[in-house]
Amino acid sequence: MLQRLLSLAPLLIALSHPIAAIAQDSTLVVAPLLSPPTGLRVGDSPDDNGHGVLARWSVAPDDAELLVYEIWRGPSPTAPDSVWFQVGSAPRGSEHFVYFDEDASAQGQPNPAFVASGEPIHLRVRGRSGDGRLTAWSGAATGVGKGNWFHRGKTNILVAVLLFGGAVAWFINSARRGKELYIRPIPGLGAVDEAIGRATEMGTPILYVLGTGTAGDVATIAGYTILSRVARRTAEYQTPILVPVNDPVMLAMGQEVVKEAYTQAGRPEVYRADNISYVSAMQFPYVAAVNGIMRREKPATCFYMGIFHAESLLLAETGSGTGAIQISGTDQVSQIPFFVAATDYTLIGEELYAASAYLSRAPAQLGPLKAQDYAKLAIILIIIAGILALTLAHWDGILRLVRTPV
């Protein structure tokens, strides 16, 4: 019996050895239990400025047991584990991740995750389950981010712009060749002359408010165009026009526009630079100043053309209180109801942009207006096609036509 036990001793010692080794070296206990994602490739992320790389992989065989894939970055593919750091994560089932970082410093410190354009980026991926189990690492892969010269996601916008631009050119040519282009009557613009005439008869000034936009806003520029036409008439009738502005650049532009209009009307001597004045760059001080002008000067006519925010009703109600005839126009959808309620005529949205064409009736001005109408027709057709495709055919491919990148 003893002999038998002694003969088994080497076997017992051999078996106890790895158990002891495992007990002493805990790193062997956390050996990966799940299989890793495979086929990691890292390449340039498309449609960006060169500070992004795209990592692609095939999901791990144990993907169903995972919660997320962790994406780690290291200084080289063979660097030790301790120097790698996590740069992102993707939910289970994901097969790609865009790694993007162009902030070279984080709160004054160098950003270790900064992706410099043209420099190699080393990434590797592993999975993590909900209970903390990990997969092995995928192999490390290296990629380089490059700046792209065209954003492919904006192709639909480019095509639309080219088609619209072509239509504009076509209708301008048509109008120049003498084709009659119809524009529907816009009551607000039709009333401009009447409003100027009223101020002239009453011997009071006209107030022209360009809003709280900047000289770079299209709606403000449209406001200047109408100002130019109104100023020409006021020069002819020798009615003073007051233009309080909220931006020094707009002041310079306003003075130039009114001066030019007076010169064209043959009345440069009537022009008063002081009538176009800067009052304040801040929204509510501007309102206070303009309302003060209304209360003091009692203008017979008030124009509000441009970009307006919360001040729209404050201005229009004060103007209404002084008994002025008021014409407003803005492209700010949220302010249009206030203007409709408080002013006599309102140019709703696009009518503000149509004003110059409407007032001048020049062929080159009318062409783009006609192109706009056809673009609207095209949009209506696309909407109807979208409704039919989604409702009847359950096909959402049509959404790709109109989807644009954020």
Partner 1 sequence: MKKQIPILIVFVTGLIMVLQFFVPHAASEFLFTYANDFVIVIGILALPLGIFSLMRGTVIKARKDPRERFYAIVTIVGFLVMAIANFRRDSGPDSLAQNLFSYVMIPCQATIFSMLAFYIASAAYRAFRVRTWLATVLLVTAFIVMLRIVPLPEPFSSWNSSLVQWILAVPNMASKRAIIIGVGLGAISYSMKIILGIERGYMGGDK
Which residues inside 139-198 make contact with partner 1, applying CB under 8 A? 147-151, 154, 157-158, 161, 164-165, 168, 172
Residues 278-317 that bind partner 1 (CB under 8 A): 278-285, 287-288, 292, 296, 310, 313-314, 316-317
Q: Are strands 105-106 and 206-211 parallel, antiparallel or unpaired?
A: unpaired
Rounded Cα–Cα distance for residues 300 and 241 (Å):
11
Where b means 16+ CB within 10 Å and e means fewer, 333-359 reads eebbebbeebbbbbbbeebbbbbbbbb
Q: How far is the CB of 120 from partner 1 (least distance, A)?
A: 18
Contact window for partner 1 (CB under 8 A) among 20-28, 91-99, 186-194, 348-356: 348-356
Rounded Cα–Cα distance for residues 79 and 211 (Å):
60
Q: How far is the CB of 366 from partner 1 (least distance, A)?
A: 10
Rounded Cα–Cα distance for residues 322 and 297 (Å):
10
Among 16, 256, 388, 403, binds partner 1 (CB under 8 A): 256
**Closest residue by Cα to residue 146 from 117, 121, 104:** 117
Residues 197-226 that bind partner 1 (CB under 8 A): 216, 218-219, 221-222, 224-226
**Smaller CB distance to partner 1: residue 77 or 248?**
248
Rounded Cα–Cα distance for residues 189 and 356 (Å):
10
Q: How far is the CB of 384 from partner 1 (least distance, A)?
A: 14
Q: How far is the CB of 148 from partner 1 (least distance, A)?
A: 5
- The side-by-side arrangement of strands in the sheet containing 66-74 is 85-91, 66-74, 120-129, 141-144
CA 215 to chain centroid, in Å, comes to: 19
**Smaller CB distance to partner 1: residue 78 or 182?**
182
Q: How far is the CB of 113 from partner 1 (least distance, A)?
A: 18
Q: How far is the CB of 260 from partner 1 (least distance, A)?
A: 2
Sign of CA dihedral 355, 356, 362, 365: negative
**Smaller CB distance to partner 1: residue 174 or 228?**
228
Contact window for partner 1 (CB under 8 A) among 17-25, 127-135, 252-260, 299-307: 252-260
Residues 106-125 that bind partner 1 (CB under 8 A): 117
Rounded Cα–Cα distance for residues 242 and 200 (Å):
14
> In DSSP terms, which residues pair with 126 in a beta bridge?
70
Among 53, 125, 261, 307, binds partner 1 (CB under 8 A): 261
Q: How far is the CB of 250 from partner 1 (least distance, A)?
A: 9
**Smaller CB distance to partner 1: residue 79 or 401?**
401
Q: How far is the CB of 193 from partner 1 (least distance, A)?
A: 17
**Smaller CB distance to partner 1: residue 61 or 165?**
165
Residues 31-50 that bind partner 1 (CB under 8 A): 47-50
The reply to whether 328 sits near partner 1 by the rule CB under 8 A is: no
Q: Site size for partner 1, by CB under 8 A?
A: 88
Sign of CA dihedral 17, 21, 22, 28: negative
Residues 61-100 that bind partner 1 (CB under 8 A): none
**Smaller CB distance to partner 1: residue 35 or 117?**
117
Q: How far is the CB of 372 from partner 1 (least distance, A)?
A: 5
Question: Which amino acid is present at 349?
Answer: G
- The side-by-side arrangement of strands in the sheet containing 325-330 is 276-278, 241-245, 206-211, 301-307, 325-330, 345-348
At a CB cut-off of 8 Å and minimum separation 6, what does 236 contact? Answer: 265, 267
Q: How far is the CB of 173 from partner 1 (least distance, A)?
A: 12
Contact window for partner 1 (CB under 8 A) among 22-30, 67-75, 191-199, 333-341: 333-341
Q: Residue 251 gets which letter from DSSP? A: H
CA angle 215, 218, 222 (to 5 degrees): 90
Among 43, 197, 240, 349, binds partner 1 (CB under 8 A): 349
Q: Which two tokens stand for residue 319?
A: 């103007």
Residues 361-390 that bind partner 1 (CB under 8 A): 364-365, 368-369, 371-372, 375-376, 379
Q: How many helices (H) and strands (E) does the chain have?
A: 12, 15
